[in-house]
Amino acid sequence: MDDDENRVRLAKDGPPAGATAAPAPQGRVDEAIVSGAAYAALALLGAAFGVVGSFAQNWTAGPVPVASIVLVALVFAMVRLAGYGMGGRLGATVPAAAWVIVAFLMSVRRAEGDLVVPGTVAGYVFIVGGMVAAVAGVMLVPASRAPGEWLLRGAPRTRD
């Protein structure tokens, strides 16, 4: 009972005047910085792939949009490998979201009338196919936690 009273007092009044806050464990801070940098790098990868793909998607072999088809397969591979490398769906979602944002921005007509991804078969294969590939890639990455863990507050699942 005394321990509960101390917790309530600390929550209301804060720590005693002479007490110092416990330092954060260095390992957890380093891990957070590295994880944040990895997610930022994945976002840059997705955005860069969206820019390069937007300019390259219109290459065709006759009526077949070969470049768009290859780019859609590469979007799927990028998203799937990012999720596998980061160990969860968030790792797959970050480059997929960056790619979708950039690809859509490149397909919007500017005030001057210019656009990078035109409304052609190659453009539609690149945009729609890339979105389907990105969603499929995210969904095929195994979740980092067991289903229902957020509700049950269980320990995270480890990969074997």
Convert the pLDDT of each residue in 27-81 to its tens digit.
Answer: 677 788 888 899 999 999 999 999 999 998 888 888 899 999 999 999 999 999 9
**Closest CA relative to residue 103, chosen from 78, 79, 130:** 130
For residue 99, the tally of other CB atoms under 10 A from its CB is: 27
Q: Is residue 158 part of a domain?
A: no
Structure pTM? 0.73
Q: Is residue 81 part of a domain?
A: yes
Q: Is residue 108 part of a domain?
A: yes
Amino acid at residue number 81: L
Name the domain count of the chain: 1
Main-chain phi, psi angles of 39, to 5 degrees: -65, -35
Q: Is residue 121 part of a domain?
A: yes
Record the tokens describing residue 40, joined without a space. Answer: 């930022």
Domain extent for 74: 46-145
